[in-house]
Every structure is written in structure tokens, then in C-alpha cells.
Amino acid sequence: ETGVTQTPRHLVMGMTNKKSLKCEQHLGHNAMYWYKQSAKKPLELMFVYNFKEQTENNSVPSRFSPECPNSSHLFLHLHTLQPEDSALYLCASSQDEGLLTDTQYFGPGTRLTVL
Amino acid sequence: TQLLEQSPQFLSIQEGENLTVYCNSSSVFSSLQWYRQEPGEGPVLLVTVVTGGEVKKLKRLTFQFGDARKDSSLHITAAQPGDTGLYLCAGSGGSNYKLTFGKGTLLTVNP
């Protein structure tokens, strides 16, 4: 248990569906992250939020829309996804963004399958 | 773009054996982290190294950061089935300290 929870753990959706992934951290951290983990590829940073403000959008397609209502919650809204978007989506948090030795704590991930 | 190459990609060994996995780059990193990810879970941080030539030990795991801060190794002594998992290295460098991850080494320790 890392203090970062993600729901749902598994999600199957069609290309025309709209769904949302949820992440919650109970660590009092100020920075939250979305990563994509695909088979045979390194973890890809998607978005970073620090004190609820988006500080990084790593050229992510607009069919992925993040939302950070407060420092404890992070959402990833999904719409009109493609089959190649199937992956494990990981949420992480850290005390602050940009500290040299800051530790990122990861949630268990949401396994997304797009049909 | 900073890239981290991890080798080997897959490793299957018997309980009790020793092993070393590697993380290499042509770029210099300010710090390097090793994570272990078990099936169905997110990565968990094992160690952070920041000084060239630094060696850190965590029970049966020994981590080394290269003198030039471009590479790192993880050595496991007397591997156990509980060591099974995906070992990821991640480097931080440049002005914004974002983490760059390698693809990982998938380790299987058979009883």
C-alpha cells in the first residue's frame, strides 16, 4: 500500500465511449502525475500537476483530458480512444515537483483495453 | 532526448544464484533511481543514487552509479523468488528533473 489509490483497476471501453480514471493520494503531496505504460516501451510521462496547476503536457493527444480539482485528486477523462491507447495507466504523487531526490509514489494502475 | 537502455530485457534464474542488471545511457543524469514493479502493481522505489561512483546496499541488493553518472548497475546476491518482478531504472537530469525511464528488466527467480 503506497498511499496512492486508483479506480477502476480494469476498464474495457469501446472507441466511442467516454470514461474517467480516478487517482487519490493520502500522502499530503503537492505534485501528481499520469504515466502510460505500454508493453515493450518505457513509462511515458503524460501530465504533471503541481499545487493543482498543470505544469507538463507531454504532447498528449486531446482525447486524453486531465483534471486536478485539488492536490489529493487527479482524473484522466477519456473519449474517442484508439486501440493503441490500450495500456496500464499509472498515477503517481510526490512531495513537490522538481526536487532532485524526490520520491514518486505510484498507484497500482488502471489496465485499460480499448476495443 | 535522454534515453536509458536496460539489459538484459529478460532474465530467468534459479533461487540462490547471483545476478547483475544494467542501465546505460549516453547522457549524464543528476540522479538515478531503481524501482521494482510486481505484477498488478505500480513501481516501488528501491533506491536513489546521486553521486558518481556511489554504491548503496539494501540487504541483498547492491546499487552502483557510474563515475560519469551515465550508467548504473543492480546486483542481487542469492536471489529469492520474492525478488521476481520488473526492475526499472529512471534518470533525472536537466533543468526540470523529470524522470526518464528505461524499458526494464523482467526478472524471474524460480524456486
| Interface contact B45, partner A, CB < 8 A | yes
Calculate mean pLDDT across residues A77-101. 88
- B42 CA to chain A: closest CA distance, Å? 4
Q: pLDDT tens digits for B14-57?
A: 999 999 999 999 989 988 999 999 988 999 999 999 999 999 99
Q: What is the pLDDT of residue B95?
A: 58
ω into residue A8 within 30 of 0, thus cis? yes
Q: Give the mean model confidence (pLDDT) for residues B68-74.
A: 95
Separation between Cα atoms, residue A112 and residue B53, nearest integer Å: 40
Q: Which amino acid is at B15?
A: E
CB proximity B78 to A under 8 Å: no
Q: Does the pLDDT of residue B111 top 70, yes or no?
A: yes
Alpha-carbon span B97 to B99, nearest angstrom: 6
Kindly list the residues from chain A whose CB atom is less than 8 angstroms away from the CB atom of residue B44: 2, 106
Cis peptide before B8 (omega within 30 of 0): yes
Q: Is A100 left (phi over 0), alpha (psi -120 to 50) or beta?
A: alpha
- Residue B74 touches partner A, C-beta closer than 8 Å: no
Residues of chain B contacting A99 with CB distance shorter than 8 Å: 97
Q: Which residue is closest to B42 within chain A, CA to CA?
A: A108
Given a cut of 80, whether residue A101 has pLDDT beyond it is no
Contacts of A106 in chain B (CB under 8 A): 42-44
